[in-house]
Structure 1
Amino acid sequence: MKFGRWALSALIASACLCGTSLAQDQLSIGFANPLPAYPVWAEADKCFNDAIAAAGIKGQTSGPTGLQVDNQFVLDRISQYIATGSNALIVVPIDGPMYEPLMKEAKEKGMWVVTLNTGDTTSTQDVQLGTDYANQGALVAENLAKREGEQNVIIVGNQPTGVHRVFVDGFLKGAEAYPNVKLVVEAYDQGDPAQTVDVVSRALTAHPEANVVLSWEGNIVSGITTAIKEKDLVGKVVAVVNDITPEVVAGIKEGTIYGTSKQNFCGMASGAVDAIVKLSKGESVPKNIDTGITFVTSENLEAEQ
């Protein structure tokens, strides 16, 4: 079969996704979920699947089992999505430098890339949706200031950089307005919940003045509350954590947890699908979309469950 020069050019152009609109029946999204076993990320999976079904497009989601972050597993899934022909990615680059090369590879292949809940720790993506961690840190400081007396805070994270740094810097900026809120020390569990009890216990031993253990890592609630109980500090030290899970609800009711930041994971996942659909049609989408948080304590727990 022979093609004229014009017809051949048109065929080549139609095969390229980069910078062009794409029919919805051709759109396929790969969602690399970092912790699908964790309740709020399981919710994100459900809302992702509901959103692609409603939009009439293809999609698949995958992630590691268990509650420990496994960046290499997730990176392998992203590579698989790129290799098997997905034309859009939803990723959660917990460690930005590890994820940027694959995100750039995806972009070079003409794929749309949307990130969830990692702020400005990466720059390659088309759109970022999720919690503004700087704002969250400041909001937590504001709510801690409402408690009586000095609030001497240990902040636990996976590592000193990335999301943790954004959150802590936001907390410190917010705390400037409240003389009774002070960061005592940062501690790191390498994103491994199995290390959390020891990490928090050591920090509490080294800093007996601390009366708040704060973390943005949603999967380490048990480690924090266990450390508080094992140190016989219930009533003297409280946890401040992320998300609304049965474990967090129980902790708030029993008094080991003062409050939690409720994030909108369903809105992140469904919003990411919506953003990709719009991009595929050539529509403009904001670079950053804050899906919001609500700080929950015993006072508003019933309304927010």
Structure 2
Amino acid sequence: MSDVALPALADAPAKTEQTETPARPRRRLPYLQAAPMALVFVVFLAIPLLLTLMVSFWEYNEYEIIPAFTLQNYRDVFEGCGNLADPCTTVRTYLSTLKFCALTLAFTLMVGFPVAYFLAFHVRSRAVQMALFLLCTIPFWTSNVIRMISWIPLLGRNGLVNDTLRSLGVIERPIEGLLYSDFSVTLAFVHLYTVFMIVPIFNSMARIDRSLIEAAYDAGATGWQTLWSVVVPLCKPGIAIGTIFVLTLVMGDFVTVGVMGGQQIASVGKVIQVQMSYLQFPAAAANAVVLLAAVLMMILGLTRVIDLRKEL
């Protein structure tokens, strides 16, 4: 008996090694699959951000950029910002940009939530849903500038809106604030970025179990109560993701503010664009780093309210 058992025990470690050896490539497989995307992430995001951070600490003058360490670029960004009674240029610029962020968020949510609700709960056919989504993306087939320019004949002093209102006797003089104003900038932002609010909210609504809706109705809840107590809480991840999209796009946008604001309205992105046009790359890089930090803090605050990892 012992002579038979000993060879069996001797073979046991060998079998264990044979079974454990193929497990190592399996552990490496997820890393190998993620490697191409990680490489793209490093090359096109991490390295440019590190270069921007590095250049933000360089000196410069009217003629050249000097690769010497300095904090003067950041001092220039926050110069005079200690007086709360008289905000500095940077604070005023950020307040102006945050105003557009708040207005755009409010209107894109007001438009995007009903559209997503209609697509998710009232359009039963998947083909029709895809067709309507394609309809929403048709404006993206053209340039943002072209889409913004299309508003000028409508909102101008002698545009279609003013001419129509005057012909109807509603106004005697053209309304000056329709174009090259906060109104036109906000309108263009809502026009450009509403789809970025619709898509994530629709994705959240599409995953809602319809039996929860039926259970709410069976419990005696009205349509508004079901919407507020069931649909909206389950759509929080989609609302948060849409908010992140809109915030990041509006905070860095300078083309919309320049075209629809008539080059008269300040924004953080516009300041960076002007500095780059004057070849003040270290100053622009410092402003870009501050902008990135501000956006990251807003996103962090949003994730504190809604745990996206848990919700998703």
TM-score category of the 2 structures, normalised to the smaller one: under 0.3
Q: Which has the higher contact order (CA 8 A, sep 6+)?
A: 2
TM-score by structure 2 length?
A: 0.21
Q: Which has the larger radius of gyration?
A: 2
Name whichever structure is richer in strand by fraction: 1
